[in-house]
């Protein structure tokens, strides 16, 4: 990525081509290109439901992709690319990649904004202390985030895979982990104090809506569930990521189109709330 020239509250779309920290199968590194193709597919347009048109919008700037080479040092260097965006006052809209990337992203966000609220959509809490010997695993980013005090508050929605270790981690870090079996979606996102960062794992959705993920987990959110929560957010959004889309598992680009829809709505809401 070359040196960027951004303005305050621009939305900087950036792809992070990284899936080396995936635990089951790789493929998410190819997601940014597939999501961009869906975003610009002539079968749809770039208007959000709340009336923001991203087409030729001077505040919506695609800054390209960052390749991430093997090794922890290169993985953690993601922070520098995101910091280049946030230090100019712009708002990163990140396409992953696996969920591991949220940790270095949040390190960059914290450098400028301090601890912020995180609204996390996922089937999994991603709070493992050390999954399969990898502290940077895509199953562990929120353990690292909470250990480092990068989140003012972590609210998780769509959870349906809590085991005993992760329940202990939820209690240890004071995470608000809303399991699908008993969540009241109408209450989510209405009481944040201060800026919010959105981290959206595509497997938060039921596989009926998003088959193109590595970890299918039935009983999840609908697209409309997630859109409703995002559209009701009253707070400034300091950044967002959409992660864990795996094009190798998709059917007729269905999940890519869902991801592009979510991108439009998040980016539109970022523009409206800034």
Q: Domains of the chain: which residue ranges?
A: 11-272
User: Cα separation of 23 and 20, whole Å?
Assistant: 8
pLDDT of residue 132: 85
What distance, in Å, lies between the first and last C-alpha atoms of the chain? 25
What pTM does this model have?
Answer: 0.97
**Residue 153, SS3?**
strand
pLDDT of residue 4: 80
Mean pLDDT, consecutive 10-residue segments, the chain of 274 residues? Answer: 83 97 95 98 97 97 96 95 97 98 98 97 97 93 98 98 97 98 93 97 98 98 98 98 98 98 98 97
pLDDT of residue 1: 47
Contact in structure between 264 and 48 (CB atoms under 8 Å):
yes
The tokens 């749809």 sit on which residue?
Answer: 44
**Helix, strand, coil content of the chain in percent (nearest 5):** 35, 20, 45
Enter the tokens of residue 271: 């523009």
Sheet architecture: strand order including 60-67: 60-67, 11-17, 91-95, 237-243, 196-201, 116-121, 151-159, 176-179
The tokens 């020239």 sit on which residue?
Answer: 5
Contact in structure between 48 and 269 (CB atoms under 8 Å):
yes
Candidate CATH numbers 3.40.309.10, 3.40.50.2300, 1.10.580.10, 3.40.800.10; the one for domain 11-272: 3.40.800.10
User: Cα separation of 147 and 272, whole Å?
Assistant: 32
Chain centroid offset of residue 247 CA: 17
Enter the tokens of residue 236: 């400034």
Contact in structure between 60 and 271 (CB atoms under 8 Å):
yes
Handedness of CA 213, 118, 36, 232 (dihedral sign): positive
Contact in structure between 82 and 108 (CB atoms under 8 Å):
yes
**Beta strand spans in the chain (E):** 11-17, 60-67, 91-95, 116-121, 151-159, 176-179, 196-201, 237-243
User: Cα separation of 274 and 269, whole Å?
Assistant: 8
């Amino acid at each position: 990525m070359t040196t960027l020239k951004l303005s305050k509250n621009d939305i900087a779309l950036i792809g992070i081509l990284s899936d080396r920290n995936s635990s089951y199968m790789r493929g998410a590194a190819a997601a940014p290109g597939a999501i961009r193709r869906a975003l610009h597919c002539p079968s749809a347009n770039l208007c959000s439901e709340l009336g923001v048109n991203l087409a030729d919008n001077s505040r919506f700037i695609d800054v390209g992709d960052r390749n991430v080479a093997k090794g922890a040092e290169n993985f953690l260097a993601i922070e520098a690319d995101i910091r280049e965006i946030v230090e100019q006052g712009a708002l990163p809209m990140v396409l992953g990649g696996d969920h591991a990337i949220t940790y270095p992203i949040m390190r960059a966000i914290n450098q400028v904004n301090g601890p912020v609220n995180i609204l996390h959509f996922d089937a999994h809490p991603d709070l493992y202390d050390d999954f399969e010997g990898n502290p940077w695993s895509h199953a562990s980013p929120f353990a690292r985030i909470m250990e480092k005090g990068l989140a003012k508050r972590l609210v998780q929605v769509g959870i349906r895979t809590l085991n005993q270790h992760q329940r202990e981690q939820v209690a240890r870090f004071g995470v608000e982990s809303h399991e699908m079996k008993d969540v009241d979606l109408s209450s989510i996102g209405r009481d944040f104090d201060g800026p919010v960062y959105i981290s959206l794992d595509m497997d938060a959705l039921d596989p009926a809506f998003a088959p193109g993920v590595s970890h299918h987990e039935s009983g999840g959110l609908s697209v409309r569930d997630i859109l409703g929560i995002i559209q009701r957010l009253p707070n400034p959004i300091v950044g967002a990521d959409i992660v864990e889309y795996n094009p190798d598992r998709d059917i007729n680009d269905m999940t890519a189109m869902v991801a592009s829809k979510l991108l439009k709505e998040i980016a539109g809401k970022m523009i409206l709330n800034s």
